[in-house]
Structures are given as C-alpha cells and as structure tokens.
Amino acid sequence: MLATVILAAGKGKRMKYPERAKVLFKVKGKPMIDYVVSLALTVHSHRIVIVVGYQKQSVIEFITKNFNEFSNNITFAHQDKQLGTGHAVMQTEPLLKDFTGDVLILSGDVPLLSKNTIDKFIAFQKTENFDATLISAYFDDPSGYGRIIRDSNGNFIDIIEQKDSTDEQKKIREINSGIYLIKSDYLFEALKTLKANNAQQEYYLTDVFYYFRNEGLKIGAMPVENNIEITGVNSVEQLSQLENLI
C-alpha cells in the first residue's frame, strides 16, 4: 500500500505576494499543489496527507473544492510553526500511525514530476529491497541543494546540506531532490531521532537517512532522467523560468 505526504506549509518568502500560499502560485494556469495532488491520486495513493501551515485555510479550501470526490482519501496535518521538513512530516504521525506500507513524500512546489518517474521510483525501491530511497539529480550548478554522498562502490550513504558542507563536498554535482519513499515501519521511529543542531536550526528530513544507515537498514538514491521534473519554485523568477522551460 502507498500513502503520500505532500509538504505544503512553506511561506515562500521570495514569492513577493505574502497574502498567497506558495503552493497556490500557478504554473500554466493551475496552482502547483493541483499537479502534486493529482499525481498522488494517479499513482494510487490509499491515503494523501497534505501538511499545511502558512495561509493554510486557502490551501484547505482549494483542495476541498477541487478534489471533493476524493475527500475520503485526503486529510490535512498542521505545521503552524515552520521548523523544517522533518518537523513537517512529524505532524502526520497521528494520521498515519496505523498505516502499513510505503510513504511517498512530495513537495507541493514541485509541479512537474511525472507518473512514469514515480512508478520507476517505486519499482526501484521494491526491486532493490530498500527501506528508504530518494530521487536525486545531476546539476551543472548544484548550489543551494543538499549533496548526495556515495562510497567508493557508488552506494548512497549520506546527504549533506549545502550550508553544512565542506568546500570539497560543494563540488559534488549529484543533489537531493527532496522526494522520498520510506517504509512506514521505520519512518516515525527515525523522525524521533532528529535534532535541530545545524546552520538553519531546523529538523531536516534528510537526517533520517543517517538513522537508517546506523540501524543497518538499506537506503538508495535514484537519479531522475529529466531534471525539469524535480525543479521546485522558490521565487517568482523561478516560476517564470519553469513556465519558459515547459
């Protein structure tokens, strides 16, 4: 079984319109969150939990109105204080504590991810029997992204956020897209181990992979074929660039 968590609580400080939730900015005439919820439904998610926070009522109203026929599948978790992606997923535990299966974690501001890529991602985890996986990408300019660390055999072993990385690690071109697939058996136990002892003083969801590795669980990273699919939006300029790329 599959559950999908959609992170949609962010403020989007660089979007220039504070009265609007970031995920409600439109790409080709549709709010970004519309694409992400539609994808979650297309890949047959048994449950969809949307984490809302900044301007949350407008997000809830949009989803309730536009996905009314799926109201039994969609619920909302509330992150009223934004303390990082790990903290956001922590808020879903009451809604998923009885769920057994894989938890797909998506960002509400990454609208172009395809069903084909998610199907491959799910197959990648299943075939390799990974306990937790992420989608990565190779960027010519990886600035601002967490870097994927691999061992001498090419196995994924860690993620280092840009602000916590060394000069040598900053040269790594493989980045973390922020898209994850994690077995529910381990997700919430891993989240309990997170600490905000980093440059941002936030609970990084990426740190769960450190827990998995230390517990002897199997982790993997699958590079995406088309980088545009995992491109997120953090400013109105990036929104415009994304539309031009399309």
Beta-strand runs (E) in the chain = 2-8, 26-27, 30-31, 47-52, 74-78, 102-107, 132-138, 147-150, 156-160, 174-183, 219-223
Which member of 14, 150, 173, 213 is catalytic? 14
Q: Residue 169 — φ and ψ, nearest 5°?
A: -65, -30
For the chain, what's the residue count? 246
Collapsed DSSP state (helix, strand, coil) of residue 159: strand
What is the β-pairing status of strands 26-27 and 30-31? antiparallel
Query: What tokens does 183 get?
Result: 């077995």
Helices 32-42 and 56-66, axial angle in degrees (round to 10): 50
* 14 among known catalytic residues: yes
Could you tell me the CA-to-CA distances from 103 to 26, 122, 229 in Å, in that order? 26, 10, 20
Catalytic positions are: 14
